[in-house]
Amino acid sequence: MAKVWIDGETSIEVEDPDGVNAVRLTVDDKEIIVSPGQTILEAVQRRNGIGNIPALCHHPAVKPYGACRICTVEVSEDGGSKFKFVAACLYPVKEGLIVKTQTEKIKKLRKGIIELMLARCPDVPKIQELAEEYGVEKPRFVLGDQDCILCGLCVRACQEIMGKSAISLVNRGIYREVAAPFYAYELTEECIGCGDCAFVCPTGAIEMGEDGRPILPKVKIPFAEIETLMKKEAVIPS
């Protein structure tokens, strides 16, 4: 018989599940039993009170991406002697896995990531909430004025839910942004004005325009004196 938890307060006794297609792992010292083929984040989100993993670039309707990194947790595959940092939204559940979601290191990492995000997008309510939760007051960096955290949910929603490919992530590095091909929508009829992108956006950076098409957030770089040698001339839309 083994004791497993089904939520933060309730535990039950189950018979040793040999031959049952289930995976047992430990999350924050509580053993849970889950069906295989899911990620740590999915397993934890389905159980109230078990673990605490924030996530920004995750949405149940699309495949996980692993871009915001705020869902990082510590896992051990060898019974607890060595731990490594992994993204919970992508890491598959494994038999015997030990997961820690609220260690000091994790909290410090989350604080660091939120500070960076807040410095980039100081006016986004969702980020401000997280900042308050993790004790980030004022970022120690020059503030930008972006709304987009480049989570990629809009692109994935358009591709995976709608089966279209009207927008994509263009440029690279600090110049990365979400855009339609050549920053125009008229070239292809891919965009059908469904509004899914605006719907899944966690920061409210996308609004639907009057023409039925989304108004995408344009990257406004530089927000500090950045001297780059590698800047390519962006194609400026008229």
Cβ within 8 Å of residue 127, ≥6 positions away: 114, 117, 118, 121, 149, 203
Residue among 10 and 141 whose Cβ is closer to another protein: 141
Please state, in angstroms and rounded to a whole number, the distance separating the CA atoms of residues 197 and 157.
6
Do 49 and 8 contact (CB within 8 A), yes or no?
yes
Question: Which amino acid would we find at residue 187?
Answer: L
SS3 130: helix
Contact between 72 and another protein (CB under 8 A)?
Answer: yes
Give the nearest distance from C-beta 49 to another protein in angstroms.
Answer: 26
Residue 143 lies near another protein (rule: CB under 8 A):
no
| Contact (Cβ atoms closer than 8 angstroms) between residue 117 and residue 69 | no
Among 20, 80, 103, 182, binds another protein (CB under 8 A): 182
81-120: contacts with another protein (CB under 8 A): 85-87, 90-92, 105, 108-109, 112-113, 116-117, 119-120
User: Is residue 8 involved in binding another protein (CB under 8 A)?
Assistant: no
Minimum CB separation from another protein for residue 57, in Å?
Answer: 9
Identify which of residues 3 and 231 has a Cβ nearer to another protein in the complex: 231
Reading the block at residue 141, the tokens are 């960096």
Rama region for 209: left / alpha / beta (φ>0; ψ in -120 to 50; rest): beta
Q: How far apart are CA 125 and CA 120, in angstroms?
A: 13
* Interface residue list for another protein (CB under 8 A): 65-70, 72, 85-87, 90-92, 105, 108-109, 112-113, 116-117, 119-120, 140-142, 149-150, 152, 165-176, 179-182, 187-188, 190, 224-233, 235
